[in-house]
């Protein structure tokens, strides 16, 4: 028989509370990170901390049967993501190249027709295409057209509507190696004079023209007036390239 004053239910209740706190901590406990430890407080609760506090006891998860087990098998591969945006166009590959007698590059081959070879290269700040042959630059009769009557001011050149490839065509006079290519948005121009290369001064003066200083030795003649759709022109000095015929083609 129990003595008077004993409380038979107090100890079992305290034990059940302690076991409940431990069980709750076990359920809530996940395998800690490598830097975390499992700590038991003075009240019997278990906590996951970076390090145990003073008066807490560090527990061994392995002894409790809750240590982290080995990694499971790798899961299935996820679905492929959507395609990204198209990147910038890369540099063109090495193809046929026209070179001069000294091995200097004349331009990259972009077309051929009979003895004519169309090449492309950079002139100043613009890539252009032009025709060459074995003997050098192909004669193509370049001209500059002007709204003025004396070939002064901005000159203009034809701009083909069906330009393909999308590079302006430079027309070259082989005798002085001066070329002309369109380099701006086409506009309507009232043409009153034009300039062109001549073989002799008398070819110009006998036609009533005037010899120009720029391009040097070209002839200015009055014409028109006539309305034309033209592009602002750029004059290219192909002579500055110092290319020496005969030209030939080399491949990769």
In tens, the pLDDT along 38-64 reads 888 888 888 888 888 888 888 887 776
Mean pLDDT of the chain: 82
Q: Please, are residues 245 and 100 in contact by the beta-carbon 8 Å criterion?
A: yes
> What residues does 118 pair with on adjacent strands?
111, 131
> What residues does 210 pair with on adjacent strands?
220
Distance CA 142, CA 131 (A): 12
User: SS3 for 61?
Assistant: coil
Distance CA 63, CA 106 (A): 82
pLDDT tens digits for 180-232? 999 888 999 999 999 999 989 999 999 999 999 999 999 999 998 999 999 99
Cα end-to-end distance, the chain, whole Å: 111
% of the chain at pLDDT higher than 90: 48
Q: What burial letters (b/e) apply to 34-49, b meaning 16+ CB within 10 Å?
A: eeebbbbeeeeebbbe
Q: Which residue has the higher pLDDT, 215 or 165?
A: 215
Count of other CB atoms within 10 angstroms of residue 248: 14
User: SS3 for 21?
Assistant: helix
User: SS3 for 121?
Assistant: strand
pLDDT at 8: 44
| Sign of the dihedral through C-alpha 56, 61, 62, 65 | positive
Q: Please, are residues 152 and 209 in contact by the beta-carbon 8 Å criterion?
A: no
**Distance of CA 131 to CAs 117, 125, 135, 197, Å?**
6, 19, 11, 18
The count of C-alpha atoms lying within 13 angstroms of the C-alpha of 26, restricted to the half-sphere facing its C-beta, is 14
pLDDT at 16: 44
Distance CA 59, CA 92 (A): 67
Res. 29 pLDDT band, cuts 50 70 90: very low
């Amino acid at each position: 028989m129990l003595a008077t004053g004993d409380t038979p239910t107090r100890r079992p209740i305290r034990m059940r509370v302690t076991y409940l706190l431990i069980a709750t901590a076990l359920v809530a406990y996940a395998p800690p990170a490598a830097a975390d430890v499992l700590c038991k407080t003075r009240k019997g609760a278990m906590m996951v901390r970076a390090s145990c506090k003073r008066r807490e006891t560090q527990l061994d998860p392995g002894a409790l049967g809750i240590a982290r087990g080995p990694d499971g098998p790798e899961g299935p591969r996820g679905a492929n993501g959507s395609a990204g945006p198209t990147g910038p166009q890369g540099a063109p590959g090495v193809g046929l190249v026209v070179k001069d007698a000294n091995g200097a590059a004349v331009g990259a081959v972009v077309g051929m027709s009979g003895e004519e070879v169309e090449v492309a290269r950079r002139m100043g700040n613009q890539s252009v295409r032009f025709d060459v042959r074995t003997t050098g630059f192909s004669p193509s009769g370049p001209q500059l057209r002007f709204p003025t009557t004396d070939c002064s001011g901005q000159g203009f050149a034809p701009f083909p509507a069906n330009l393909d490839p999308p590079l302006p065509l430079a027309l070259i006079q082989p005798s002085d190696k001066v070329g002309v290519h369109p380099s701006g948005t086409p506009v309507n121009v009232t043409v009153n004079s034009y300039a062109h290369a001549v073989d002799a001064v008398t070819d110009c003066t006998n036609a009533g023209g005037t010899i120009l200083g720029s391009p040097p030795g070209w002839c200015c003649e009055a014409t028109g007036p006539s309305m034309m759709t033209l592009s602002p022109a750029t004059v290219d000095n192909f002579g500055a390239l110092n290319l020496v015929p005969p030209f030939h083609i080399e491949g990769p």
